Amino acid sequence: MSKWTRRETLKAGASAAALAAMGGVIPRAALAAKQFDGAITIGSIEPLTGIGAALGAPNYIGKLIAIDEINAKGGIAVGGKNFQIKLISEDDQTSPDQGVPLFRKLAEKDKCLIITGTQYSRVTESMWGLLQKKLDDKSDPGLQVPSMSFLSMKAGVAGISPWSFRNAGNEPEQHETTLSVVEKKYGPYKVYGGAVEANEAHSVAAWRAAYLPALKRRNVEPAAYVEWYETDRDFSVQIRKLKRANLDLFVLSSHFQANVGALLEAKRQGFKPKTIISHIGADAIEMVQLGGDAVEGIVFPAAVHQSMSLVQPLAVEYKKRTKEKYMPQFTGLGYEGMYILKHAMETAGIKNTPESLQEDRRKVRDVLAGLKNYKSFAGMTLNMNENRDIVRPTYLVKIDKGDFRMWWDQEKGFLF
């Protein structure tokens, strides 16, 4: 059994306290005495606090559940040996200033085989800026450690380095699907418009790289376009402008923090477009808890959903640990991501010795880059594309009667 670091002990204590405070069940499986031949160190960077916590925290819980399960079932099997996964977890506080040094620490000091995270695009792209830009380029002193984000939706983020990977879905494809589906159901629309969270990289990128091109393909110019910040508290000016434009399709490229305030203001002003669509930033329980019926009817894309039969056991465990009523897709992506990494480590034939670290990192990277026909826990088949983004189907979720309900499935069509 490898020695725990002081930081790990503190983190474990903090997590245990957090779960205990929430009345949750502290995972015992990972703590149970089990004979391993050593440990594989994996780094985790998440926005556990700060503005991105609503995405990062559920993702982190998904990782923890997966690691508990993997370790309880014997850990990572490589070359006839079984290694326990040892997770070193760090909180980037949704800040690049925090994330960049933490990423370097996990790679260089903690010597992690793989670094998972982070999940907020602006932090992820700053961290991945430390990675080598061109594979086998000896003149590039960048870090050579595989890193996979289980979110960071900003278009093109995974292309930063040959060592960076993402399991989150293709956002331009997600929004094209969303637009097509709502047009089919509620269209045709005459007046399109949008709002963008102007200080948030993912929301800006979603607007520019996904929504605008999708509108252009339809020969549509947004009749009204407004901006706000995720920290804003008054949205009256923006909503008034949108209302004057008489929108019937409103694109909300914004996270829940601003969405809630804006939609409460929309209700206050009586602005009610026929359809409102948003990105994955709307997938947070705070939407319904803070927004009430003002957020009813919003449609947004999802990579997995708690209602899927194969996902339900995870949702049960998530709710047990957190006492939350709803498991957002980020938990599923974190959980699934850890199993993808397990598959990569076992397939790569790593040696897991201090001397073989760099060689092992490269082997894992290569397996991830060539990932094909991976069977997800949720039942779908996943493939890594040339941009190191895992290609996965899109589902649509609708906020309906205060609940996040799966609304559309590629195979089954509209579900209600």
Partner 1 sequence: MSDYLIDLLQTSIDGLLFGSTYALVAIGFTVIWGLLRILNLAHGQTVMVGMFAGMVCSTIFKLPIIVGFVAAMAAACVVGIIVDRVCYRPLRNAHELVPMIATLGFWIFLEEAFIKIYFYTWFRGYMDFPNPYTFVGYDVGPIRLRLDYLITLAVSAALVAVLYLIVYRTRFGLAMRMVAESHDIGYLMGVPVRRILTGTFLLASAYGGAAGFLIGMASNLASPQAGTLAVVKGLFAMILGGSGSIVGAIVGGMTLGVLELTGAYVVSFAYRDAIAMIILFAVLIVRPQGIAGKATIERV
- The site for partner 1 (CB under 8 A) is made up of 14, 17-18, 21-22, 48-54, 57, 93, 198, 226-228, 231, 233-234, 236-238, 240-241, 244, 257, 260-261, 264, 267-269, 286, 289-290, 322-324
Contact 170, 391 (CB under 8 A): yes
The one-letter code for the residue type at 134 is K
Nearer to partner 1, 260 or 368 (CB): 260
Nearer to partner 1, 113 or 287 (CB): 287
| Closest CB 157 distance from partner 1, rounded Å | 22
Contact 307, 405 (CB under 8 A): yes
| Closest CB 268 distance from partner 1, rounded Å | 6
List all residues 6 or more positions away from 386 whose beta carbon is below 8 Å from its beta carbon. none
Q: Measured in Å, how far apart are the chain's first and last C-alpha atoms?
A: 51
Length of the chain: 416
| Closest CB 410 distance from partner 1, rounded Å | 32
| Closest CB 278 distance from partner 1, rounded Å | 17
Secondary structure (DSSP) of 257-322 = HHHHHHHHHHHHHT---SEEEE-GGG-STHHHHHHGGGGTT-EEEES--TTSTTTHHHHHHHHHHH
Six token digits for residue 280 = 């994955």
Nearer to partner 1, 54 or 215 (CB): 54
| Closest CB 288 distance from partner 1, rounded Å | 10
Between the CA of residue 1 and those of 86, 112, 253, what are the distances in Å?
10, 17, 47
Nearer to partner 1, 20 or 32 (CB): 20
Nearer to partner 1, 61 or 333 (CB): 61
Nearer to partner 1, 176 or 197 (CB): 197
| Closest CB 290 distance from partner 1, rounded Å | 5
Contact 60, 44 (CB under 8 A): yes
42: β partners: 87, 114
| Closest CB 97 distance from partner 1, rounded Å | 13
| Closest CB 245 distance from partner 1, rounded Å | 11
Six token digits for residue 341 = 């990494």
Nearer to partner 1, 46 or 248 (CB): 46
Whether the upstream peptide bond of residue 118 has omega within 30° of 0, thus cis, is yes
List all residues 6 or more positions away from 76 whose beta carbon is below 8 Å from its beta carbon. 40, 70, 82, 83, 84, 85, 342, 345, 346
Nearer to partner 1, 44 or 161 (CB): 44
